[in-house]
Each structure stands twice: as structure tokens, then as C-alpha cells.
Amino acid sequence: MNCSIAKITEKRVFLLSLFFLGFIQLSFAQIPRQFLDITVSPDRPSWVYSLGEKVEFIVSVTQSGRPVPVENVRFFVKEEKMNPIQEGSLELKEGKAIISAQGMKNPGFLRCEVFATIDGKEYRGLGTAAFEPEKIQPTVKMPEDFEAFWSEAKAELEKIPLEPKMVHIPERSTDAVDVYHVNFRNIGNSRVYGVLTMPKQSGKYPAILQVPGAGIRPYAGDLAKAAKGAIVLQIGIHGIPIDLAPEVYSNLSSGALNGYWNINIQDKDIYYYKRVYLGCIRAVDFLVSMSQFDGQNLAVQGGSQGGALSIVTAALDSRVKYLSAFYPAMSDMTGYLHGRAGGWPHMFAESNRKYYNFPKAVETIGYYDVVNFARILKTPGFYSWGYNDDTCPPTSYYSAYNQIKAPKEVFVVPETGHWTYPEQGAKSDNWLFEKLKK
């Protein structure tokens, strides 16, 4: 290698390492506090009510823990993602107010949003009351040939040789953990790319497949879980290397892969997520093929889009023995067509309906909606979420969760939105390792 190329490569590795470090830190950060703290909470500690019960939302507007003068305080009460059913201005007394609202007649979530302005900037707070969420039923229909469709797709995948490639990354490895960039074949002459971390000490280990949330990004691998005694494979879903310069992912996000979740939605056989779902199964193939795998204990873990992929992968592949999912996306996506919130990516929401609400798209969604995988799921799972999620409405993931007949455990932290406290992550990891090391 000549000197100039070596310097370019060295610089690129340095920039990537900085990017990876920032990504890792952000992944585990708590949601930042606002300059103006608007707290909205239902009057019942559990935030859960019976149908028809009235609810009072307790509002507190403070700065540094003390009431401050604010302007233009207003509120909306609505079923999540729907139009307001109650709204108005709000008068605060010593930074506090109470908003009384009628309860819901059907199982679901009633959300109160409060807006206040200080120094010309508007801030938002929200709280969400749950009304018998365990009774929420899905709107999406299960196609008669759902299982046959996926059995045929898996049979197609089995005909493709794995052809794995592994490149050791010594600069990221430690005394206890080896790090590899890996890739292997998937359908359509595509490949799955990921980061493998595993214990250096010889032996047999359980395996964890980590599936990603939405977006296009590089991946750094999970050294912490590998150090605890697990083989961990962290994959991307887009069939592109996971160690490119950050601007490549930014350009793809704004360009060719912008709105990837809608690509080929008109045809269930070539919809974007067919390759993704099968790619997750192919990742299981890779882990099972490893001589260091203990041959039995394999789990899948993820949040949001990754929560969806965790349920999907476990439902399609009996080699997955456990799953952990946070606020799964792609759940009951047709909810909007029935007058209530639907799951991310919201293709049937009012603003998107003119583009995607046509029979072939609705048909395709039936084969990819998490609800239908939940209906056939046999894998024990750990789940965690909150009620203030704007991205993946709780109505949508309860639609899936309530269909699961496999053993399940849920840890609800009501005030969380599309983010988690470190304690939720710790509970998930403890649950997984307890199961995997039995």
C-alpha cells in the first residue's frame, strides 16, 4: 500500500471510530430533558382505567423544578393519532392545572398534549391513559395462505448457499472479545452485512441476533454482551456494508433508500421487507453454522423496527428459542383504515393514504404485519414499552401482543415514549442471559 492510500485509510478508520463511539453512546442515552419541563400524567398511578371511567390529567409546567411564567398554554385530548375530541386554553395556578376528560368506550389509549411558550419557543408535554389495553384487538386480516407464503419463501432461501465471509478487526477487538465484519448470501443475489462479537476463550456459547431499528447507518457490534459470554451478531438490513463513511448512509437516507419501507408495496412477492425478513433467517443460519455456537440457545433482540423483526424472526424460525422486543413497529398497520392509530410506518395515516391506500398495498401488508406473526408465535418473549410513544402507538403493539399465546412477560414504564430507561435494557438483558445460560 502506498503512503497516500495508507493515510486516507487511517483517517477513515479514525473518523469511523468516532462515529461508532457517538452512536453507541446515543443508543443508551436517556431522552434529554427540555428547558421547560411540561409533565402530564393521568391521576391513577398505573395510568390504566376501565372503559367509561373518567380520567383527570395532572399538568405541571416548571423550569429547574419551579413554576415560571409561560404564555399561550393550550391542550388537546384525543385518541392517539386521531383528531382532538377536547381542546382549549389552560390557566395555570402556581404552574399546575387539571384537565378532566371522559373515558373511552372501546379499549385503547387517550392522550393529553399540553403546549406552552416561553421566550418565544413552544414546548410540548404529553400523558396517555390506557383503557383496558389487554382487550385491544387487531384490524389487520391474516391471509389464508400466510404460512404457505412464508414456507415457500424459506424453501427458496434454503437453496442459496450461505457463502459466509469474515474479516477480523483487531483494532476493535479486546483481550476478551474478538470483533469481525461478516457477510453472507441472501435472496436475489443480495448479501447480509453485520458485526460479529464473540468471546476469545475457546468453548461453546449461546448466541444473540440483534436486529436494527429503522434507518440506514453503520454498526459497531455489542462487545458488552460478548464479554458476558455470548456470540452476538448485529446486522444491517439494507444489503450494504456496515463500515462505510457516515456520509454514504446519509446520502442513501436522503436518496435511493428514502422511504424504503414503502418500496414495492404493490406486490407481496417483491416488497422491500421480504428480503429483510429472509435476511434475518439467513443470519440465524450463519450463527447456527458457527463451531463456537452451543447448538441450542439462540435469541433475537431489537426495538422498534427491530422489535418487529424480533417477533417475525422468532415466528418464522423455530431455532430461535427466546426473543426480546421493545415497542415493535409494523404492528396493525391497517388501524388507520378503521378509525384508530396504526403502526409505524403509518402508510395508511391520513397524510399518506392517497399514496398507499389501494387494494394491492393492503393485501401486501397482510403478509408482513407483525400481528400475523404474533398469531403463530411459539417462542417465549420479553417485551417492554411505555404509553407515550408517538412513533409506534401503543394501540398498535398491543394489537400484536394480545395475539401472542406463547409465554410472555411485559415490563411497562408508562411515561416512556419511543425510548427506554437503562433499567429497561438491563431487565431485557438479564432475562435473556438467564434463559440462554440454563
The overall longest dimension of the chain from CA atoms, in Å, is 74
**Mean of the pLDDT values across residues 179-198?**
98
What domains can be seen in the chain, in order of their start residue? 37-133 (2.60.40.1930), 146-436 (3.40.50.1820)
Sign of CA dihedral 235, 236, 237, 243: negative
Best CA proximity match to 81, nearest among 275, 355, 339: 339
Residue 121's CB: how many other CB atoms inside 10 A?
10
**Mean of the pLDDT values across residues 355-382?**
98
> Which run of H or of E encompasses 128?
strand 121-131
**In whole angstroms, what is the distance from residue 109 CA to residue 395 CA?**
7
Catalytic residue among 41, 178, 181, 304: 304
> Which run of H or of E encompasses 359?
helix 359-368
Q: List, for residues 264-323, the tens digit of each pLDDT value.
A: 999 999 999 999 999 999 999 999 999 999 999 999 999 999 999 999 999 999 999 999
Q: List, for residues 75-114, the tens digit of each pLDDT value.
A: 999 999 999 999 999 999 999 999 999 999 999 999 999 9
Best CA proximity match to 300, nearest among 367, 241, 228, 377: 377
Read off the pLDDT band of 147 (50, 70, 90): very high
Sign of CA dihedral 263, 234, 393, 50: positive
Q: Is 238 noted as a catalytic residue in this protein?
A: no
Q: Is 418 noted as a catalytic residue in this protein?
A: yes
- pLDDT higher than 50, residue 131: yes
Angle at which helices 3-27 and 246-254 pack, to 10 degrees?
60
The residue type found at 301 is Q
- pLDDT higher than 60, residue 173: yes
Write down the pLDDT at residue 32: 67
Catalytic residue among 41, 399, 418, 428: 418
205's CB contacts (< 8 A; 6+ apart) are 198, 199, 229, 230, 231, 292, 293, 294
Write down the pLDDT at residue 35: 92
Catalytic residue among 181, 389, 396, 399: 389
Please tell me the pTM assigned to this model.
0.93
Structure-block grid coordinates of residue 25: 453512546
Q: Is 181 noted as a catalytic residue in this protein?
A: no
